[in-house]
Chain A
Amino acid sequence: MTEALFQKIGGEPAVNIAVDIFYRKVLADDRVNGFFEDVDMEKQAAKQKAFLTMAFGGPNHYTGADLRRGHSHLVKRGLNDTHFDIIVQHLSDTLRELKVKPEYIAEVGALCETTRNDILCR
């Protein structure tokens, strides 16, 4: 079902374009860029690609437990709902810039929402 969303948004090529715009927004935003400060940009870009693929409903092998493990050190540093909302907002802004249909953007938002409790380790 979500595979279909991934294809409608444009599949892997779309992720490659989106990651460039999305990650630039995140790094330029002082409210969240502290969480990305120490990570190597090249590796980070690859991870953000994994994130977007997942948010677009594409093929990925992350479980809820993986997401918890991957963000628990950030939660310890204060990651909260506000940060989560900001990231999702940057993602929808990115998709809007890329002229993705509003209903697909809403689907991406809903998909992100299902991960909220895992990302915030609750």
Chain B
Amino acid sequence: MTDITFNGRVFPCADGDTVLEALTKGGAPVASSCRSGVCQTCLLRAVAGPLPEAAQKGLKDTLRSRGYFLACQCQPTAPLHIEGPGADAAPLSATVCAITPLNRDIVAVELRCTDLPLYRAGQFINVFRDPQTSRSYSLASTPGLDPHLTLHVRKFDQGRVSSWIHEDWRLGDTVTISGPVGECFYLPSNPDQPLLLLATGSGLAPLYGILRDALRHGHRGPIYLYHGSRHEDGLYLGNELRGLARAHKAVHYHRCVSQGDVRADLRLGRVLDVALADHAEVKGWRAFLCGHPDMVKQARKRLYLAGVALKDIYADAFVRAPA
């Protein structure tokens, strides 16, 4: 048991509880979404007291050095004085400027942001339905190529945020988003390294941005993109991706379905299995894994065991927010 002082009030924190849990139990709820250390919605700042290492994992050095931490990952072992995040995490306003269906349940949403934040293709933003309810959506746009931020949003029935986006958003609406977050992006440091991009469903969004970003930076090594879904109608952007593969010899695009018939342009199997069947030797490659948490988890492990270095595995698991 230890104490947390938040905005001048003292909250008891039971052993094993996170700061997020302690503040919520004490009647001072903090906005949060994924509660697994990914979305950075619950960012707070420590002004005094030691922070466990896990509480700052994945944060930029600039935030880390100023005491920022994730409330959902912080199990304090000694008294902690904390404050709200202030300007660094202040939400931004954006205008909905295009909504385009990509397939039966995914739409592309373009957002115009007057202070377009600096971002890297593959990062994500959080979309706020209200100050307590937000969800993460990856950026499919590429800085320097696209004028706006683009999201690919898959509709979930009864989804608090995704259904709202699909049903209620209209062109010209002003919406509230966070700045760009996340570490899943392309770095131009090793332009000859083969890249393996595995996506399921709307996990294509960040990889579409990363693929075009790598090409824009003059990546020379081969780029293998595997996009998977249960059925063919879950795939999308096929024409654009085939076009990229035709225009760039280095780009190889594979459409995978886990059920249905095999056809010339369609591979049968899950993305990871298909990719590993094609490539026995992946040592020294860089991998980007986005979409279903199970795919990301398995791919991380099998690619690592196959010889991909931990530092060369970039991933965003689209984890669900708890009810």
User: Which residues does A use to contact B, with CB under 8 Å?
Assistant: 16, 19-20, 23-24, 27-28, 40-43, 45-46
A17 to chain B, nearest CB (A): 9
B305 touches A41 (CB 8 A): no
A residues near B304, Cβ cutoff 8 Å: 24, 27, 41
Contact of A45 among B53, B297, B310 (CB under 8 A): B310
- Nearest first, the 10 A-B pairs at minimum CB distance are A41-B300, A20-B310, A20-B309, A45-B310, A41-B301, A28-B305, A27-B305, A24-B305, A24-B304, A41-B304
- Minimum CB distance partner of A45 in chain B: B310
Q: Please, what's the 1-or-0 string for B184-197, where 1 marks a CB less than 8 Å from any CB in chain A?
A: 00000000000000
Whether B57 sits at the interface, judged by CB under 8 Å, is yes
Q: How far is the CA of A42 from the CA of B57 in the complex (A)?
A: 11
A residues near B309, Cβ cutoff 8 Å: 20
B residues near A20, Cβ cutoff 8 Å: 309-311
Q: How far is the CA of A4 from the CA of B301 in the complex (A)?
A: 34
A113 to chain B, nearest CB (A): 27
Q: How far is the CA of A49 from the CA of B13 in the complex (A)?
A: 28
Q: How far is the CA of A104 from the CA of B307 in the complex (A)?
A: 26
The binding surface of chain A is classed by DSSP as helix
A25 to chain B, nearest CB (A): 10
B151 to chain A, nearest CB (A): 25
User: Which residues does B use to contact A, with CB under 8 Å?
Assistant: 53-54, 57, 297, 300-301, 304-305, 307, 309-311
- Minimum CB distance partner of B57 in chain A: A46
Q: Can you list 13 contacts pairing A with B, beta carbon distance less than 8 Å? A: A16-B311, A19-B310, A20-B310, A20-B311, A24-B304, A24-B305, A27-B301, A27-B305, A28-B305, A41-B300, A41-B301, A45-B310, A46-B54
Q: How far is the CA of A23 from the CA of B54 in the complex (A)?
A: 20
B302 to chain A, nearest CB (A): 10
B residues near A40, Cβ cutoff 8 Å: 297
Q: How far is the CA of A94 from the CA of B4 in the complex (A)?
A: 43
- Minimum CB distance partner of A19 in chain B: B310
A residues near B301, Cβ cutoff 8 Å: 27, 41
Q: How far is the CA of A95 from the CA of B57 in the complex (A)?
A: 27
A residues near B305, Cβ cutoff 8 Å: 24, 27-28
B20 to chain A, nearest CB (A): 18
A41 touches B297 (CB 8 A): yes
A29 to chain B, nearest CB (A): 11
Q: How far is the CA of A80 from the CA of B271 in the complex (A)?
A: 38
- Minimum CB distance partner of A36 in chain B: B301
A residues near B307, Cβ cutoff 8 Å: 24
A residues near B53, Cβ cutoff 8 Å: 46
Q: How far is the CA of A24 from the CA of B309 in the complex (A)?
A: 9
- Minimum CB distance partner of B312 in chain A: A20
5 further A-B pairs in the complex, CB-CB below 8 A; given A16-B311, A27-B304 = A20-B309, A23-B310, A28-B305, A41-B304, A45-B310
A residues near B57, Cβ cutoff 8 Å: 46
B95 to chain A, nearest CB (A): 36
Q: How far is the CA of A43 from the CA of B317 in the complex (A)?
A: 14
